[in-house]
């Protein structure tokens, strides 16, 4: 694996290998007083975020540090991006400073793919073989989120294959939804997207999933339900009448959580808007795996860095 740009670059074997590595790293660190493996000593990992982030940016930094890499964070605010420097010049500058891996989040769909193409083309000029990881590009993809969600489903349900997973809410603006649909389908899950027609993207009928507009018709059949944040910052116009009406139509309330099978798991990629897409009592309930997702995020990102920078283990 040269870069991680899209879950569609991963077949079931490659995705499972990443999840297995994440599991092994988790086990290797369990109970250790000093959470430090020497695996990536001397490697430089740079996060370059043009959009806000708590989980992804911090967990990549922690993942790199736990594997002894040198980690550096760059955000658009405070960098020379503010003086008009382009994405390409910024990335090439970081590569020329010896970045072995650049992890990028950007509001433009396709930004990580462009960076990877430049990194490959300009390898000789920058003097570094830099790999690129997509940490969220516009409304397109968020591959490490889908991997950590799959890791969490494996932990909680024992397997992903054959499980029915409902993804509910603002699919239109969600890179998490797209990455999850494609990765979960690759891993053999049966995925149903539940959203109002206004919050579904053009072409969704070609995705490997079923579409529903009725959350209450789906709940009793689900092994897991993933609620999506309503991405207000990406909305130009009104996609539903009001927050209250959205919550009535699609929010995961106590009553809806009670309609799930007993074993079913609740996921949310975060950040949550409590009370709108998910009731606080459901987010904090025993069936919620939301903080387990965050914990798995560190191990999955360790695995991604490991496979990219040290090669997949035998
Ligand atoms: N944090 C995720 C993302 O950046 C989900 C969200 O913000 O709603 O895509
Ligand atoms: N889930 C997720 O990507 O969270 P952040 O936006 O906080 O990184």
Continuous H helices in 30-79:
55-66
Do 131 and 160 belong together in one domain? no
Q: Note whether residue 1 is domain-resident.
A: no
Do 71 and 97 belong together in one domain? yes
Cβ pair 153, 165 in contact under 8 A: yes
pLDDT, position 116: 94
Q: Note whether residue 226 is domain-resident.
A: yes
Q: What's the pLDDT tens digit per position in 254-280?
A: 999 999 999 999 999 999 999 989 999
Do 121 and 137 belong together in one domain? yes
Residue in 215, 289, 208, 271 with CA at minimum distance from that of residue 246:
215
- The boundaries of the domain holding residue 52 are 7-141+295-309
Cβ pair 38, 32 in contact under 8 A: no
Cβ pair 311, 129 in contact under 8 A: no
Q: Note whether residue 314 is domain-resident.
A: no
Do 238 and 134 belong together in one domain? no
Q: Note whether residue 107 is domain-resident.
A: yes
Between 314 and 235, whose confidence is greater?
Answer: 235
Do 152 and 288 belong together in one domain? yes
Do 147 and 119 belong together in one domain? no
The minimum-distance atom of ligand 2 relative to the CA of 59 is 8
Cα–Cα distance, 36 to 39 (Å, whole number)? 9
CATH number where 164 lies: 3.40.50.1370
Q: Which helix (H) or strand (E) holds 100?
A: none
Residue 238 in this model has a pLDDT that exceeds 90: no
Q: Where are the beta strands (DSSP E) in 169-292?
A: 190-194, 210-212, 224-227, 265-267
Percentage of the chain beyond pLDDT 90 is: 79
For residue 176, report the distance from its CA to the centre of ligand 1, in Å. Answer: 7
For residue 52, report the distance from its CA to the centre of ligand 1, in Å. Answer: 9
Q: DSSP state, 99?
A: -
Q: What's the pLDDT tens digit per position in 147-163?
A: 999 999 999 999 999 99
For residue 49, report the distance from its CA to the centre of ligand 2, in Å. Answer: 11
Do 149 and 203 belong together in one domain? yes
Do 124 and 173 belong together in one domain? no
User: Which strand ranges, in their side-by-side order, compose the sheet holding 44-49?
Assistant: 70-75, 44-49, 101-106, 131-137
Between 123 and 86, whose confidence is greater?
Answer: 86
Do 135 and 158 belong together in one domain? no
- 271: preceding bond cis by omega (within 30 degrees): yes
HEC readout, 158-205: CCCCCCEEEEECCCCCCHHHHHHHHHHHHCCCEEEEECCHHHCCCCHH
Task: Give, in order, the Cα–Cα distances in Å from 309 to each of 44, 66, 95.
Answer: 10, 14, 15
Q: Which of 50, 52, 56 gets mutated to test ligand 2 (max ligand atoms within 8 A of its CB)?
A: 56
Q: Is the minimum distance from the CB of 47 to ligand 2 under 6 angstroms?
A: no
Q: Is the minimum distance from the CB of 294 to ligand 2 under 6 angstroms?
A: no
Do 174 and 267 belong together in one domain? yes
pLDDT, position 77: 84
Where does the pLDDT of residue 314 fall: very low under 50, low under 70, confident under 90, or very high at 90 and above?
Answer: low
Lowest mean pLDDT among 123-132, 201-210, 230-239, 246-255: 230-239
**Token digits of residue 248:** 């009535």
Q: Note whether residue 216 is domain-resident.
A: yes
**Token digits of residue 271:** 């950040």
- Residue whose tokens read 């079913």: 264
Q: Note whether residue 172 is domain-resident.
A: yes
Q: Which residues contact 69 (CB under 8 A, 6 or more apart)?
A: 40, 41, 43, 44, 45, 100, 305, 309
The structural domain count of the chain equals: 2
> Per the confidence metrics, is the pTM higher than 0.85?
yes
Do 126 and 188 belong together in one domain? no
Ligand with an atom nearest the CA of residue 175: 1
For residue 294, report the distance from its CA to the centre of ligand 2, in Å. Answer: 9
Do 167 and 86 belong together in one domain? no
């Amino acid at each position: 694996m040269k870069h991680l740009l899209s879950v569609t670059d991963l077949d079931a074997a490659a995705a499972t290998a990443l999840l297995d590595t994440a599991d092994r790293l988790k086990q290797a660190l369990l109970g250790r007083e000093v959470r430090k493996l020497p695996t990536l000593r001397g490697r430089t990992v740079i996060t370059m975020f043009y959009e806000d982030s708590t989980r992804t940016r911090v967990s990549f930094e922690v993942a790199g540090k736990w594997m002894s890499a040198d980690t550096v964070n760059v955000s658009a605010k405070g960098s020379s991006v503010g003086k008009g420097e382009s994405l390409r010049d910024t990335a090439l500058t970081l590569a020329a400073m010896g970045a072995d891996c650049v992890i990028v989040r950007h509001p433009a769909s396709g930004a990580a793919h462009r960076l990877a193409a430049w990194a490959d083309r300009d390898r000789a000029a920058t003097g570094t073989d830099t790999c690129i990881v997509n940490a969220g590009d516009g409304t397109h993809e968020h591959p490490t989120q889908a991997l950590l969600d799959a890791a969490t489903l494996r932990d909680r349900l024992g397997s992903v294959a054959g499980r029915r997973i409902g993804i509910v809410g603002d699919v239109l603006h969600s890179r998490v939804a797209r990455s999850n649909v494609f990765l979960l389908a690759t891993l053999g899950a049966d995925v149903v997207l539940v959203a109002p027609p206004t919050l579904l993207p053009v072409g969704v009928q070609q995705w490997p999933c079923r579409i529903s507009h009725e959350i209450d018709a789906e709940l009793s059949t689900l092994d897991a339900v993933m609620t999506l944040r309503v991405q207000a910052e990406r909305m130009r116009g009104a996609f539903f009448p009001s927050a209250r009406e959205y919550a009535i139509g699609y929010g995961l309330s106590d009553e809806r959580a009670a309609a799930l099978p007993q074993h079913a798991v609740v996921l949310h990629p975060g950040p949550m808007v409590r009370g709108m897409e998910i009731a606080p009592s459901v987010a904090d309930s025993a069936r919620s795996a939301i903080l387990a997702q965050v914990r798995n995020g560190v191990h999955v990102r360790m695995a991604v860095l490991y496979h990219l920078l040290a090669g997949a283990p035998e």
